[in-house]
Amino acid sequence: MHIEWIKGGVCAPMGFKASGVHCGIRHNPGKKDLALVVSDVPANAAAVFTRNKVYGAPITVSREHLKKTGGKARAYLCNSGNANTCNADGVDVADAMCASLANAAGISAEDVIIASTGVIGQPIPLDAIKLGIPSLVSQLRRDGADDAAYAIMTTDTFDKQAAVTFDVSGKAVTIGAMCKGSGMIAPNMATMLAFVTTDAAIEIPALQTALTAAVNDSFNCVVIDGDTSTNDTCAIMANGLAGNDTITAESDASSAFTDALTALLKKLARELAKDGEGATRLLTVNLKGAPTDKLARSIARSIVTSPLCKTAIFGADANWGRVLCAIGYTEGEFAADTIDVSIESAKGTLNVCKNGMGVSFDEAAAKAILLEDEVTLNVNMNQGAASAVFYGCDLTYDYVKINGDYRS
């Protein structure tokens, strides 16, 4: 299947508009803090949420809305600067935000998927949000994706957007997305926040299956710091305006849709990892030769999560023993005396471990490889056919600085 990468983010598919404004949640008036994406027509919707037992009120409300509508939605509403988590009135505030948007946009409050990101346990300024929503609605436009993408950012250093188009039954189908995330990232269902739009005609069960599969191979393969957020949400709206034959779970087109969605979310997953708080390098763990798929994912996650592996990458230190250590404490049955490790970047590839033992290598060459912006750890377990690719970043002094004064 051929997919073409295009610009436009969440507004790339037909029938979607977006906007972003500063309403006063964040102290800096130059930072947008309220985002909106609206479909011109009712859309089929699906979502996945955090498995953290402490989760934000917007998740409670979004789940209830999707249940009441039978999987329909018209809008994404998201604020940054405040997570609306662990607040006594959190659900009431989220409900009020949806009601305010419904009144201003002429839609039902239950048609809104709502999300929040920012500080936990801080009262949310509902009055400021209500005052900002009319402006948010009035600024909706077909080229508003950038404003929306900037409005959902917290410690991100750049916006994260992408879109693809491909053919389904002779019709051009487009999927667009935006996401945010820089810290508190070790997804255990979906991601930090990700909002996906598509003009595909696709049934809700097929949409949910495709989203779950795509997320599992993309956002669920990203680790920045090992912390699973309280607000993780990844949602998709499909409004059917492409006019393709409706995709069902049984149709051949469902695989094509899932593949395109997975490619899109993988691109964004890499950007999330590259923009990890304080990060200087993107770290990719390419794990193969594992006995089972479950073990492949578990081992790759152990490596990319390990603080010692991450600090070694920061220091451009080819300390491969830390990789073996991280592999060794992964739960599951596997041997340690068949493991090969190599390091790779634009500067080349260098073997550093063979059959679980060290090999002679040029330290200067290793350092040159590890000083590149993007570094890959290739690990071959040599014990099966299962593989996994995980994304992360180095652990730097700046990560501690950013999170040491996050609330200020």
Residues marked active site are found at 191
Q: Which residue bears the tokens 């990319």?
A: 304
Asked if residue 94 lies in contact with residue 57, where contact means CB atoms within 8 angstroms, the answer is yes
What are the beta bridge partners of residue 15? none
Give Rg (Cα) of the chain.
22
* Residue 181 to residue 273: CA distance in whole angstroms: 9
* Residue 72 to residue 58: CA distance in whole angstroms: 17
Residues with Cβ within 8 Å of residue 255, at least 6 apart in sequence = none
Instruction: Tell me the three state secondary structure of residue 55.
Output: coil
Residues with Cβ within 8 Å of residue 307, at least 6 apart in sequence = 395
Asked if residue 283 lies in contact with residue 273, where contact means CB atoms within 8 angstroms, the answer is yes
Asked if residue 325 lies in contact with residue 306, where contact means CB atoms within 8 angstroms, the answer is yes
Mark out the alpha helices in 106-252 (DSSP H runs): 126-138, 145-151, 204-216
19 to 22, 108, 123, 402: CA distances (angstroms):
11, 19, 24, 28
